[in-house]
A = this chain, B = another copy of it.
Amino acid sequence: MRFAFSDDQLAFRDAVRDLLERECPPEVVRAAWTNETGRTDHVWKHLADMGVLGLVAPESSGGLGLTMLDLVLVLEETGRAALPEPIVEHTAVALPLLPPDVQAAAAAGSITVAAGLIGDPFVPYAESADLLVLQHDVALYAVAGNDVQLTPDASIDGSRRLSAVQWDPSADTLVASEDALADALERGALGVAAQLVGLAERMIEMTVEYARHREQFGAPIGSFQAVKHHLANARVKLEFARPLVYRAAHSIAHDDPDRAIHVSMAKAQSSDAAALAHRCADRV
């Protein structure tokens, strides 16, 4: 029993954090609200060069041949930076399903893969994607961007460029069915859970920073019990969400028979943690 990441995993996480702090500061995120694609372009390329985009692809396709357990910390960092890119869809959901040549292009970041799953009528970043992995019934299909019809719609998050997608499934484009579909959905949910945990942590940090310096009634507002207790509650919620996320990543990486349950627990708890951190950040 050992519930901790390896030094290599942590070092890689730190490297991604450094990269995103440098290349994806708040100005870059804000710029994506109004630019052409809603994305960052240069950060996408950096992530490819670092091996992040191809992290879970086999080495034969130019990937690092690693698992969701290695990816989870990296996705947490993308949540922390609020990275405006479809990295969960591209790397966690789609990459393992693609044929080797396409996988290689995706790992290199020379193409972008978006994903559209049943339950959500919109595909984020479909306009700038080269390939779309789309669900029909209990199967996934990889369809070229040219072969679909898009109807854009606006999200409140300016960087999330949404589109409704019209397309036709065919045997040629089938990439996953039944179990492989379930696995892909789990990887996606886990990826979002990791991002939410990273985002929650960052919101708490920024709020603490503000509360340490903003003064009212002659004292930093962070010295008032009401503010302290809001933040303490948010921090506790996060403390008991993160281990569920890491456990779910481990379960996916090891094909644990309970992995679907573990992913659901992780997603539910990290959503609540992020919502509480947001409320706290908003009010303080």
Contact = CB atoms under 8 A, between A and B. Distances in A.
Interface of A: 224-226, 229
Q: How many copies does the complex hold?
A: 2
Nearest 6 CB-CB pairings of A with B? A225-B225, A225-B226, A226-B229, A224-B225, A226-B226, A225-B229
A225 B225 CA distance: 6
6 contacts: A224-B225, A225-B225, A225-B226, A225-B229, A226-B226, A226-B229
A21 to B, nearest CB: 35
Contacts of A225: 224-226, 229
A219 to B, nearest CB: 12
Nearest to A225: B225
A14 B206 CA distance: 54
Contacts of A229: 225-226
A258 B224 CA distance: 46
A152 B224 CA distance: 52
A190 B108 CA distance: 69
Contacts of A224: 225
A229 B225 CA distance: 10
A226 B225 CA distance: 6
A225 B219 CA distance: 15
Nearest to A226: B225
A117 to B, nearest CB: 38
Contacts of A226: 225-226, 229
A199 to B, nearest CB: 27
A226 to B, nearest CB: 5
Nearest to A230: B229
A24 B224 CA distance: 42
A184 to B, nearest CB: 43
A220 to B, nearest CB: 14
Nearest to A224: B225
A156 to B, nearest CB: 30
A188 to B, nearest CB: 38
Nearest to A229: B226
